[in-house]
Amino acid sequence: MSLDSAVPPPLDKLSLKDAVQEAQFSQRVLIHSILSRADGGSGLAGHTIRIGGWVKTGREQGKGSFAFLELNDGSCPGNLQVIVDAGVHKLSDLVPTGTCVHVEGELKVPPEGAKQKVELRVKNVINVGPVDAGKYPLPKTKLTLEFLRDVVHLRPRTNTISAIARIRNALAYATHTFFQKHGFLYVHTPIVTTSDCEGAGEMFQVTTLISEAEKLEKELKDNPAPSEADIKAAELVVKEKGEAVAQLKSSKASKEEISASVAELSKAKENLLKLQERFKLGERCRLSAGFPKKDGKIDYSEDFFARQAFLTVSGQLQVETYACALSSVYTFGPTFRAENSHTSRHLAEFWMVEPEIAFADIKDDMNCAEAYVKFLCQWLLDHCYDDMEFMAKFIDKTAIDRLKMVASSNFYRITYTEAVSILEEASKEKKFENAVEWGIDLASEHERFLTEEKFKAPVIVYNYPKAIKAFYMKVNEDNKTVAAMDVLVPKVGELIGGSQREENYEVLRDRILEMGLPLEPYEWYLDLRRYGTVKHSGFGLGFERMILFATGMENIRDVIPFPRFLSFRLFVNVHCDMLEFRLRFEAFRPFALYCFLLVVETWSGSLPLGLGHCLTGSAVCRLRLGAWGSGASSATGASSVLLAGKCFSTFRPNSHYHFTISQSYFITFLIGNPIPQLTEEYW
C-alpha cells in the first residue's frame, strides 16, 4: 500500500455512506467528525466507536440507574451526548464536570424530539480521569474572563477559550497557506538579538551575568574569600619557610630536618595557592559584570554573548537579509516589548507575522497586506464557521458580518495628511480625547473613527511624518514623510504596520545617527545596502490583534494561550469573619495618577456592594461590605463586583492604607495605571 492510499479523506469530504473515521495516532473518533456531517451524525447510527473527552455536564437519571454526559474533546464547539448505565461503571465517578473519560459504545438515533441527532450508548468505560467536584476550579456556572486569567492552565476547557484556540489555529494555518501559495519562503528569525528594530528601547535584556554573580556569592557564602592582608600573610609564611629550608641546607643539617622543613614549605605554598584561588573568586564576585562598577558601567564582554543581548521586538531586520537574497519571505513568531502599559491592548509577549518582498514598493506592500487580511477573513468563514457562530452568539453578534464585510470590501486608501484633514473637520462636531494636528501619531480613537464612522470599512493610511516613524523607512521626496502605511480595521484600529524600506546606504546611515542609535549594532544591516542593494517592502501584522478583530473579544489577554503582561497584583485569602490589614505602597511615583481597584469574589452568600468611605490621601479608611439590597441575589460560584474604584492623585510612597473586611471573601488588589477611557462617570 502506498503512503498516499493510507491517508484518509478530509472529514468534510466524507459522504453519508462512509464509515466513521478514526483519528490517526489516537484510538478514538473525533466528535467533530460525527457532528459536522450534513445529517448531524444520524447516518452513522449502528456504528461502534471509541471517543474520549471531558465532561461538560453530567447528571444521574432514573434513580441512579443511568447517567447523561455531555462530552467535548476540543475538536469542535459541540458536545456529544453519552449515556452510561450504572451496570457499566460507577456513575458518581463520571458525572462531575471536568472528568476525563475514554469510552466505547454504539451510536444511536435518540428519541423523536431530542435536540441531538445522534447519541452514544456506552458499552465499556476504558479509562476515567476523575475530578473532585468540590475542589474543581471550573464549576458549571458562568465564569468571568477575569477569573479565568487566574486559572490560565485550565481555561482552555471553557467554551470561549477553546473556540478562540481553534480560531487562532485556523488563522495560523491560513497565514502559512496564503504566503506559501504566493511563493513566499518561511524564515525562522532569532528570538535573541543585539539590535532594536523600533529604536524605542523598550526591550527585555538577556544576560547570564546576574545568575553568574549569584552563583559566585553562593559559593563564597559558607567559605568567604580571603582579604589582601590574608594573601600577604600567607606569602610571608612561604617566604619564611623558604628561607628556613635554605638555611638548613647551607648549615648542612640532617636529611630528616631538611625534609621536614621542605614539607612545611610545600604545605605553605599549597595554602597560598588555595587562598589566591579563593581571592580571585572573590574578586570575580566583587567585580562581577552583573553589577555596575564604580564608574556605573557594566562590562558586557563578560556576558554570555560578550555584548548586550535582548529578546527581539521584531524579526523584520533579520528577515530582510533573506528577502535580499530569496526575494519573497516571511517570518511568524513571538516578539517582546517591555512597555509600561497595563491596558486591554498590550502584552509583553505577542506574535507577529512579518513578510518582506524584494523589488516591491509601498503600493505593492499595501496590495499584499489587503489581500492577506481578506484571505484570513474568508478562511475563517470557510473553515471555522461553527466557532464564529459561537462567538457571534455569546461574544459579539457582529463578528461574522464584520468578517464578511472585510472579505468583500475594497480597502480605502488615504494619505496621512488627508486623514488628519478628515479628523480636524470631524473634531468641529466630535470631541476627541487626543488633539488632532499634523505630526501626531494617530490614536486608537482616530483610527476607529476613520474605519467605523467615516468610511465604515477598512482604511489604509500611508505617507506618515518622518519624525514619528522608524529609521529604516524610506524617506519620500518631500523629506517630511516616509513611505509607511497602516491598515486600520473596525473595532481594533491599527492591524498592520508596514513600509518601503530605505535602500540607500547614505540615507539609512544618516537616519540611524539622526535617531541617536549606535552604528555598530546595525553594520550588518547597512551591509545589505553596501552590497547589491534592492528596493524592498514589508509589514507586520499583530496576530493577537487579528484574533481580537475576528472574535470581538475585548481583552488581548484572552486571545493568547499564556498571556505575559505588566502586572501589579496582590492576592489575599480571607477566611474569617473580621480581618484588618494594611497595604504599604512603596513603588508609586509621587503625585502620579493611579487607579486602585478592590475586587471581591464571593464563594457563597450575597453579592457584596458598598463602600463606607472613599480612599483619600494617606488617611486611615474603613471599607465595609454591605448587602446588595433587599433583593439580595445568591452567588453559588465565583462572581466579581467592583467595590471601590476611583482615580486618585494623592497616593504617596511609603504610605499606609487601612481597611476592615467583615465577611469571608477572596480579595484581589489590582494596582496599575488608570485606563484612559474609564471616566469618573464610569466609576
What is residue 642's predicted lDDT score, i.e. its pLDDT? 31
Q: Residue 225: pLDDT band by 50, 70, 90 thresholds?
A: confident
Supply the mean pLDDT for the chain: 80
Question: What's the average model confidence in pLDDT over 379-401?
Answer: 97
Q: Does domain 3-136 have CATH number 2.40.50.140?
A: yes
- Distance between first and last Cα of the chain: 69
Q: In this structure, are residues 384 and 167 in contact, taking their beta carbons and an 8 Å threshold?
A: yes
Most confidently modeled range among 24-38, 489-503, 575-589: 489-503
Mean pLDDT calculated for residue range 487-516: 95
| Residue 571 scores a pLDDT above 80 | no
pLDDT for the residue numbered 279: 81
Q: Under the phi-then-psi rule, with left for phi > 0, alpha for psi from -120 to 50, and beta for the rest, what region is 412?
A: beta
Q: Calculate mean pLDDT across residues 630-657.
A: 34
* pLDDT (mean) for 109-128: 93
What is residue 150's predicted lDDT score, i.e. its pLDDT?
87
Q: Which of 114, 61, 50, 112 is nearest to 86 (CA)?
A: 61
pLDDT at 512 over 60: yes
In the predicted model, is pLDDT for residue 99 greater than 50? yes
**Higher-confidence residue: 404 or 611?**
404
Which pLDDT tens digit goes with each residue over 144-159? 898 898 899 999 999 9
> How much of the chain exceeds pLDDT 90, in percent?
56
For residue 258, the model assigns a pLDDT of 84
pLDDT of residue 641: 29
Find which of 22-36, 269-283, 469-483, 585-599 is predicted with most confidence, using mean pLDDT: 469-483
**Lowest mean pLDDT: which of 55-69, 219-233, 462-476, 650-664?**
650-664
CA-based torsion, 251, 256, 257, 259: positive or negative: positive
Which pLDDT belongs to residue 568?
Answer: 42
Q: Is the pLDDT of residue 588 over 70?
A: no
**pLDDT higher than threshold 50 for residue 460:** yes
pLDDT of residue 654 exceeding 60, the answer is no
Q: Give the DSSP per-residue string, 120-154.
A: EEEEEEEEEE---TTT-S--SS---HHHHGGGTTT
Question: Quick one: which H or E segment has residue 164?
Answer: helix 159-181
Question: Residues 5-23: what's their mean pLDDT?
Answer: 53
349: alpha, beta or left? (left if phi > 0; alpha if psi -120 to 50)? beta
- Which residues, 6+ apart, have CB-to-CB distance to 386 below 8 Å? 36, 76, 77, 78
Helix (H, G, I), strand (E, B) or coil at 232: helix
Predicted pLDDT at 664: 37
**How high is the pLDDT of residue 188?**
97
Q: What is the pLDDT of residue 292?
A: 54
Higher pLDDT, 337 or 576: 337
- Please state the CATH superfamily assignment of the domain spanning residues 166-204+310-558 in this structure: Bira Bifunctional Protein; Domain 2 (3.30.930.10)
Average pLDDT over residues 488-506: 96
- Residue of 51, 154, 75 lying closest to 387 (CA atoms): 75
User: How far apart (Å, rounded) are the C-alpha atoms in residues 117 and 40?
Assistant: 6
**Residue-level pLDDT at 217:** 66
Q: What percent of the chain has pLDDT over 70?
A: 75
How high is the pLDDT of residue 293? 58
Strands 119-129 and 594-602 turn out to be: unpaired
Task: Choose among 350, 382, 365, 400: nearest CA to 174.
Answer: 382
Q: Where is 510: in which H helix or E strand?
A: helix 505-514
What's residue 507's pLDDT?
95
| Confidence category of residue 17, pLDDT binned at 50, 70, 90 | very low
- Confidence bin at 604 (pLDDT 50/70/90): very low
Query: What SS3 class is residue 269?
Result: helix
Does pLDDT of 459 surpass 50?
yes
Residue 373's pLDDT is: 98
Least confidently predicted of 17-26, 111-120, 141-150, 273-282:
17-26
Query: What pLDDT is recorded for position 291?
Result: 56
Coil vs helix vs strand at 593: coil
Listed by start position, the domains of the chain span: 3-136, 166-204+310-558, 208-302, 569-672
pLDDT for position 500 = 98
> Does the structure show a pLDDT above 80 at 412?
yes
Residue type, 129: G
Give the per-residue pLDDT at 303.
81
Q: Quick check: 488 and 445 in contact, CB under 8 A?
A: no
Q: Grid coordinates in use for 665?
A: 471573601
- Give the pLDDT score at 211: 67
Say how many residues make up the chain.
Answer: 683
Rounded Cα distance between 461 and 447, Å, is: 9
Per-residue pLDDT band for 200 (boundaries 50, 70, 90) equals low
Between these two residues, 284 and 506, which has the higher pLDDT value?
506
Q: Which residue has the higher pLDDT, 191 or 565?
A: 191
pLDDT band of residue 430 (cuts 50, 70, 90) is very high
Q: What is the mean pLDDT of residues 281-305?
A: 67
CA nearest neighbour of 487 among 440, 520, 455: 455
pLDDT in tens, 40-77: 999 999 999 999 999 999 999 988 999 999 999 999 99
Least confident of 224-233, 304-313, 496-505, 637-646: 637-646
- Predicted confidence band at 631 (pLDDT cuts at 50, 70, 90)? very low
Position 141 scores a pLDDT of: 78
Contacts of residue 49, defined as CB under 8 A and 6 or more positions apart, other chains included, come to 20, 22, 28, 29, 104, 105, 106, 107, 120
pLDDT at 250: 85
CATH class of the domain defined by 569-672: mainly beta
pLDDT the model gives residue 212: 63
Q: Which residue has the cell 473519560?
A: 101
Name residues whose C-beta falls within 8 Å of residue 676's C-beta, 6 or more positions apart in sequence. 433
Q: How confident is the model at residue 645 (pLDDT cuts 50, 70, 90)?
A: very low
With beta carbons less than 8 A apart as the criterion, state whether 407 and 454 touch.
no
